[in-house]
Chains A and B, each alone.
Chain A
């Protein structure tokens, strides 16, 4: 600490300055790390997407060439299509299922805790481990699922992960079932929290008016869960866009079989890390960023602003 400041700490300007210095001491270390490890590499991704590295001659401005290359690549469109399809299928299945199960859990007067613990268990298991387990669960000859179906008398057993076609028993369907199994517990917990925020008086009033259980579910529970659904759809969409670990464990960076399981992040990984085409990877990374940003901003301006102002 400089002597000039310490010698006369009562001078208001110096005191304010010293006060500010202390606060900068709190803020600068994290700010420094954020600048180096978050802001700088993100800026580099944008830079790389607009330039071409020429060996020995530095960087040459490429305009939109890399983006044109990206948008002309059918593999990229395939990866984007997979990501969207898998995300939509997952959310369409998991949200209604979680809502039904959470409503049942909410009505259960005893023994809800062990059930919550069990439903949440797969969420704690890494996506890698889940993918390894389900690789065997979906094994066509002796896997848990087909073995069980055979024991039930099913003759035509599906190929699951070995079948790259768009079908309800193909690789994408298997990857969706896996995701629902793994993610269900989290969705149940969030819906449960939403259910508990609905005032009990509404149900009492409905009962006095002679509403049936189904009617109160339809007219009280579902509208009351609107903020929860909005929250789950937004965070679920962003998570689904960033899907990587389980699909990569199942099918490698190419998302085999036949790229049916390749996601956008796997495409970035494959182009940048495996193929060292940093500019193409960066163009894909920028497009990924823009999609996530669009979803977030749409969600915020469309829905969340109202929910936040309602809370405050």
Chain B
């Protein structure tokens, strides 16, 4: 609604004397800042492409490798099972995101449209979990995984993140906005609640589901605290964990370490550049950091 109004409305008449000098100055300052944001990335890529970087670094940083080669990448991929790391991250991020979206929408649907005893206290209980920081429960959770014989399994990486108060709240708000008449009409036509959930609720909540999916992917992809606690078997390491534990141990070989870093963040950056419109909208609309 707001978006549409903006297009129809005449351009804003801010007290801006529409002169190009101001626009040029703004551009100059903002692009200077943008260069500061990008230079560390460029320097990382440059250094990772320089074979000499493993022995001695130039005293004046350069943004062009003196001896471009893929040597460091060969070493990095030989030392790190990069394909396995990506596979593990995809499994963990994929399973948690699919489960989180499903379970949060289920709870959200019940709390938005359902009528059942204890609805209000249960919803309050879901919301109250927002006040329980992960860091408070992480050591007992790690011990619990040991008791369940789940340490060093994918299940340990996935199960604790399948349901949560934040997603339930977001989905409840989105589903509460769907008109009751739509659902009643489907009910009169004989559709079951499950059918209504699948064919009406979920499709209508697509924007919120996309927001929640993007946020969850960022959280789970970047998480390192929980994987480090619950997996010690390097066959189960995620990309971020592998980078932290293995990539760091190559610290003395600057070129190799930075090649490892590039391999771990390049696909994320490519995905981000493709999806940037959605990512930025998700963060701006929810106000939640990735």
Residues of chain A whose beta carbon lies under 8 Å from any beta carbon of chain B: 19-20, 22-24, 26-27, 29-31, 33-34, 36-42, 44-45, 48, 101, 104-105, 107-111, 115-129, 132-137, 139, 141-144, 147-148, 150-151, 181, 183-186, 189-190, 192-193, 200, 203-204, 206-207, 211, 213, 216, 231, 235, 238-239, 242, 244-245, 248-249, 264-265, 268-269, 272-273, 278, 281-282, 285-286, 288-289, 292-293, 296
Minimal Cβ-Cβ distance residue in B for A197: B2
Any chain A CB within 8 A of the CB of B54?
A: no
Chain B residue contacts of A248, Cβ below 8 A: 224-225, 244
> A26-B193, A186-B290 given as contacts; is B137 within 8 A of A42 (CB)?
yes
Q: Are B115 and A20 in touch, CB under 8 angstroms?
A: yes
B58 → chain A, closest Cβ, in Å?
Answer: 7
Chain A residue contacts of B126, Cβ below 8 A: 30-31, 34
Any chain A CB within 8 A of the CB of B168?
A: yes
Q: Are B240 and A128 in touch, CB under 8 angstroms?
A: yes
In angstroms, Cα B282 to Cα A189, docked, is 11
B31 → chain A, closest Cβ, in Å?
Answer: 7
Q: Are B139 and A268 in touch, CB under 8 angstroms?
A: yes
Show 5 residue pairs from A and B whose CB-CB distance is below 8 angstroms, ordered by the A residue. A19-B116, A39-B132, A128-B243, A186-B289, A245-B223
Q: Are B129 and A133 in touch, CB under 8 angstroms?
A: no
Q: Are B61 and A133 in touch, CB under 8 angstroms?
A: no
Q: Are A216 and B280 in touch, CB under 8 angstroms?
A: no
Interface membership of chain B positions 107-119, coded 1 if the CB is closer than 8 angstroms to chain A and 0 otherwise: 1011100111101
Picked from B44, B140, B222, B257, the residue with its CB within 8 Å of the CB of A41 is: B140
Q: Are A124 and B272 in touch, CB under 8 angstroms?
A: yes
Any chain A CB within 8 A of the CB of B14?
A: yes
Picked from B43, B257, B284, the residue with its CB within 8 Å of the CB of A144 is: B43
B43 → chain A, closest Cβ, in Å?
Answer: 5
Chain B residue contacts of A185, Cβ below 8 A: 37
Chain A residue contacts of B165, Cβ below 8 A: 34
In angstroms, Cα B142 to Cα A282, docked, is 12
Q: Which 3 A-B pairs have the closest CB atoms?
A: A207-B15, A272-B139, A23-B114
**Interface size of B as a range:** 35 or more
Q: Are A45 and B129 in touch, CB under 8 angstroms?
A: no
Q: Are B38 and A136 in touch, CB under 8 angstroms?
A: no
In angstroms, Cα B279 to Cα A185, docked, is 12
Chain B residue contacts of A148, Cβ below 8 A: 61
Q: Are B111 and A133 in touch, CB under 8 angstroms?
A: no
State which residues 142-176 of B face A: CB under 8 Å.
142-144, 159-160, 162-165, 168
Q: Are B107 and A30 in touch, CB under 8 angstroms?
A: yes
Q: Are B12 and A45 in touch, CB under 8 angstroms?
A: no
Picked from B38, B254, B287, the residue with its CB within 8 Å of the CB of A190 is: B287
Chain A residue contacts of B39, Cβ below 8 A: 144
> A33-B162, A144-B61, A286-B136 given as contacts; is B280 within 8 A of A116 (CB)?
yes
Q: Are B193 and A129 in touch, CB under 8 angstroms?
A: no
> A19-B115, A101-B33, A203-B14 given as contacts; is B140 within 8 A of A282 (CB)?
yes
In angstroms, Cα B46 to Cα A147, docked, is 15
Any chain A CB within 8 A of the CB of B202?
A: no
Chain A residue contacts of B269, Cβ below 8 A: 121, 124-125
Minimal Cβ-Cβ distance residue in A for B9: A200
B97 → chain A, closest Cβ, in Å?
Answer: 15
In angstroms, Cα B165 to Cα A109, docked, is 39
In angstroms, Cα B66 to Cα A180, docked, is 31
In angstroms, Cα B221 to Cα A102, docked, is 28
Q: Are B37 and A45 in touch, CB under 8 angstroms?
A: no
Q: Are A38 and B247 in touch, CB under 8 angstroms?
A: no
Minimal Cβ-Cβ distance residue in B for A137: B40
Q: Are B135 and A23 in touch, CB under 8 angstroms?
A: no
Minimal Cβ-Cβ distance residue in A for B128: A39
In angstroms, Cα B83 to Cα A137, docked, is 28
A39 → chain B, closest Cβ, in Å?
Answer: 7
Binds A, one of B19-27, B74-82, B177-185: B19-27
Q: Are B162 and A242 in touch, CB under 8 angstroms?
A: no
Q: Are B106 and A27 in touch, CB under 8 angstroms?
A: yes
B49 → chain A, closest Cβ, in Å?
Answer: 14
Q: Are B14 and A125 in touch, CB under 8 angstroms?
A: no
B76 → chain A, closest Cβ, in Å?
Answer: 12
Picked from A108, A122, A238, the residue with its CB within 8 Å of the CB of B27 is: A108
Q: Are B131 and A293 in touch, CB under 8 angstroms?
A: yes
Picked from A118, A137, A200, the residue with its CB within 8 Å of the CB of B12 is: A200
Q: Are A189 and B284 in touch, CB under 8 angstroms?
A: yes
Chain A residue contacts of B115, Cβ below 8 A: 19-20, 23
Q: Are B289 and A235 in touch, CB under 8 angstroms?
A: yes
Most chain A CB atoms below 10 A, which of B58, B117, B125, B141 = B141
In angstroms, Cα B284 to Cα A64, docked, is 44
Q: Are B135 and A119 in touch, CB under 8 angstroms?
A: no
Minimal Cβ-Cβ distance residue in A for B31: A115
Q: Are A33 and B290 in touch, CB under 8 angstroms?
A: no
> A31-B122, A144-B40 given as contacts; is B257 within 8 A of A132 (CB)?
yes
Q: Are A150 and B107 in touch, CB under 8 angstroms?
A: no
A18 → chain B, closest Cβ, in Å?
Answer: 10
Most chain A CB atoms below 10 A, which of B57, B136, B144, B280 = B136
